Amino acid sequence: NDKEYLASEGETIIQVADRNNIHIPRFCYHKHLSVVASCRMCLVEIDKVKQAQPACSTLVHEDMHVNTKSQKTKDAQKSTMEFLLINHPLDCPICDHAGECRLQEFSAEHGRGYSRFKEEKNVKPKRTRLGPRVTLDDERCILCSRCVRFSQEVAKDDVLGFVDRGTYSTLTCYPGKELSNNYSLNTVDICPVGALTSTDFRFKMRVWFLKRTHSICTESSVGSNTEIWSREGKIYRITPRRNDAVNDTWMTDSGRGLFKEFESEDRLKSYSVDQVAKSLDDAIAATRALLESGSVGVIGSAHSSLEEQYLLHKIVKHTGASYEMIQHIGEGDGLLMSEDRTPNLRGALITGLINELPEAQLGQIKGAIENGQIKTLLVFNEDLEQLCIDLIKLKESVQVIYFGSSKNSTSEQAKVVFPSLSVFEKEGTFVNQNFILQKFKQAILPP
Ligand code: SF4
């Protein structure tokens, strides 16, 4: 566009353009996937060859002249749009992807505004189940192969492919397979049209009604960056937010459903003392009395934010309490699910609550509780029954103060209960497995 840009050998036109904020439309190109140059939407005029070439697959070289705004470029992109819209249904008003559809945006920006196609459109299956969480509308698919490449290259689950030829090409799962890996919903995010939809979210809410809040996935210590989509205190979906240092543009399917566990009937909603609902002041007075009687133990939580751990550290120092933390371990998948299934274990190292990463099970504090050395026990979000501590047996010797978002057997035995907020209802910071400090914001009000 009559300006000079620096580029490295091996870079493509689209990479240089993106780096310099020059907009080139694209459907099949994705920064984190291999290049196939199949959609032809990124055609740009290159002077030496005197014709439009795909910007995603053409390497730059010295003295190359690229024009992303010339008439030739515009005509090429307009023609591509016209071809794509020949068979694509013009059903934006009822399409679940309206408002976040590349085809819808580009048809306004680069299309001709009306269709010259008078013949009958191709008819294909409208509601195909690709897997437990993804539904396909084949008529809307523009065959960009993003979903196919994502499954092969990122999720390492080669399950999708095209069958039949030309106009009849159709996306499908290989015989006997389905799109059920824990990354399947990323195909919905990267599908540039409304072909792939989340079975859970489809037809629930128009995206332009939803508020978007930056958050962090608490499923594991990876700390995938996320966006919470909510309206009037209700969360409708969670999608990944781009952070190339942490999760690129992906997240797990399981992490997207975490908000549902906080919608359950088991949420704790009031302070209580001796299992009777009380005011916050009463709960604090009861807690103070217990803490002042000495012999305090604390079982902390790696789900607590850095700020909460900092305050807890003050309580631990002030009362001289013994402190322990449980590590929750599961199987890692080598991608965005780490073995450590908590978001902020490393935060406890930084706040000084612990000096080294803990064992999976309780160590010394368990013995101290069972020997009667600990009289008052503060428990954060853990269930003592699952840690093999029998509260009924210890009822006379240990008084429990429980902080947690949901009921469990510990809250049901506790002397004092403080209902706490879920990650969606508060703001704070977590430290992920690579010691990256990340903020999360409040998306909805607590119950
Ligand atoms: Fe591309 Fe979407 Fe079709 Fe997959 S379903 S090939 S992502 S248009």
pLDDT tens for 385-443 read 888 888 888 877 899 999 999 999 999 999 999 999 999 999 999 999 999 999 999 99
Residues in the chain: 447
| Tokens read off for 63 | 């003295």
The SS3 of residue 254 is helix
Rounded distance, CA 92 to CA 107, Å?
A: 11
- C-beta 147 within 6 A of ligand 1: yes
| Tokens read off for 225 | 């960056």
Chain centroid offset of residue 339 CA = 17
- C-beta 143 within 6 A of ligand 1: yes
**For the CA of 142, the nearest atom of ligand 1:** 8
CA of residue 30 to ligand 1 center, whole Å: 12
- C-beta 142 within 6 A of ligand 1: yes
Identify which of 193, 197, 198, 249 to mutate to test ligand 1's pocket (most ligand atoms within 8 A of the CB).
Answer: 193
Torsion angle of C-alpha atoms 78, 249, 60, 66, degrees rounded to 10: 30
CA of residue 98 to ligand 1 center, whole Å: 15
Rounded distance, CA 74 to CA 65, Å?
A: 16
**For the CA of 187, the nearest atom of ligand 1:** 7
- C-beta 171 within 6 A of ligand 1: yes
- C-beta 193 within 6 A of ligand 1: yes
pTM over 0.85: yes
Task: Name the residue with tokens 């509260």.
Answer: 391
Strands (E), 232-326: 234-240, 272-273, 276-277, 296-300, 322-325
Cβ-Cβ contacts under 8 Å for 260 (sequence gap 6 or more) = none
- C-beta 188 within 6 A of ligand 1: no
Nearest CA to ligand 1 atom 3: 141
Distance between start and end Cα atoms, the chain: 55
Rounded mean pLDDT, 302-306:
96
Residue 360 predicted with pLDDT over 70? no
Q: Which residues pair with 160 in a beta bridge?
A: 173
Encode pLDDT of 179-194 as tens digits. 999 999 999 999 999 9
Question: What is the overall mean pLDDT for the chain?
Answer: 94
| Tokens read off for 220 | 């594991």
Rounded distance, CA 89 to CA 209, Å?
A: 24
pLDDT given for residue 82 in this prediction: 94
pLDDT given for residue 343 in this prediction: 97
Rounded distance, CA 261 to CA 265, Å?
A: 9
